Amino acid sequence: MARHSRPTLRHLLTACSLLLPIAAFAATPDASVAAKNGREEPHPLVIAHRGASGYVPEHTLASYALAILQGADYVEPDLVMTRDGELVARHDNELGLTTDVSQHPEFADRKRTQMVDGVELTGWFSEDFTLAELKTLRAIERIPTIRPGNARLDDSLEIPTLQEIIDLVKTLQLSERRRIGLYPETKHPTHFQQLGLAMEKPLVRVLHRNGYASRNAPVYIQSFEVENLKTLSRMTQLRLVQLFSSGQPYDQQVRGSKLTYAQMATAEGLKAISRYAAGVGPEKSYIIPRDANGNLAQPTDFVPNAHAAGLKVHPYTFRAENVFLPTNLRNGDSPAERGDIEADIQAFLDAGIDGLFIDQPDIAVKVRGQ
């Protein structure tokens, strides 16, 4: 796909723009396709990480559409808040890395420095812009040196709202004749709560309004924080997923708690998570760490312990380029060259995972089929 010509990509973008006007008419009340397709989910789930972000700039309608056409079961929008309380898809609330905001002189005075989750950041922030203002920006590739093909689409794609993503998904699941899910992540929920822009109620309101309300709905809501997942568990029956990073969840730091991700990853910690979540999303090394040479070591007991607690396991992030792969699975010396991601995926499938986040969904679909 990375070698596709610009006309081919333009055709995809045109198709995306044409889909939205008919989406409202295409949607079904329960956000699912015909009953004959059933509600059994594929195994393992292929979750398109920020869409097909290995081929098209992340968190754009083109990225989500391509992921679905490649066979992804779920698409993942990271969600941040605008000044006027709208949910939009960006990896972070800082906009400089993924939009052309720096090229807009009318927004030069919006650049500022602030603390986000305990880290000092300088840039432009979603909470300082209305949705109408954000719609004047265009997406750019976040890692252009690794994905120069994606950068060809810089400045051509809008920032989508959650509603626009839902409309696209509902339309494509009809044409694809299969169930397609949403896997939103609440980004920086404590930060937005402190600004008076708490995300939980708006997120649940949009999902419920679109027919995503029951535990059987094709939705997982994920977060690196704990308390906002517990809040969501009291507001909706939708399935929740606790993400894992290093150190402490930021909300636990704010609360003065000593709880760490390492403690949460123990058998007892996973049992505690099962009281408010249906699954866990660990960084890959929680399941198979790398040795001193950068190669995959032996699997840990994370997956069996999570399964014993009744939790699904959806690790992140699988990426095809050398720079992201174990040393022995790389192809040549270029960080951007594609390595043996198939072997990387297979190792984790053998470890018993239930799904995976991937930037190139078509590869995971192919490996699953084999």
In degrees, to the nearest 5, what angle opens at C-alpha 362 toward C-alphas 356 and 365?
Answer: 60
The C-alpha atoms of residue 368 and residue 370 are separated, in whole angstroms, by 5
Verify whether residue 314 is a known catalytic residue. no
* Catalytic position from the list 59, 91, 191, 314: 91
Joined together, the tokens standing for residue 50 give 């920020």
With tokens 């992340």, the residue in question is: 58
Residue matched to tokens 């490649």 = 70
**Does residue 7 sit in helix, strand or coil?**
helix
Q: Which residues pair with 219 in a beta bridge?
A: 182
What distance in Å separates the CA atoms of residue 44 and residue 369, rounded to the nearest whole number?
Answer: 10
**Whether the Cβ atoms of residue 305 and residue 267 lie closer than 8 Å to each other:** yes
Phi, psi of 2 (to 5 degrees): -65, -20
Q: Pick the catalytic residue from 4, 11, 43, 49.
A: 49
* Spatial contact of 105 and 212, defined as CB atoms under 8 Å apart: no
Q: Would you mind telling me the total number of residues written for the chain in this entry?
A: 370
How many Å apart are CA 197 and CA 201, to the nearest integer? 10
Q: Residue 123's beta-bridge partner residues?
A: 112
Please tell me the distance from the alpha carbon of residue 228 to that of residue 126, in angstroms, as a whole number: 20
DSSP state of 160: P
One-letter amino acid at 307 equals H
Give the tokens for residue 29.
Answer: 């009340």
Rounded CA-CA distance 202/220 in Å is 16
Contact 89, 78 (CB under 8 A): yes
With tokens 């051509």, the residue in question is 156
Active site residues: 49, 91
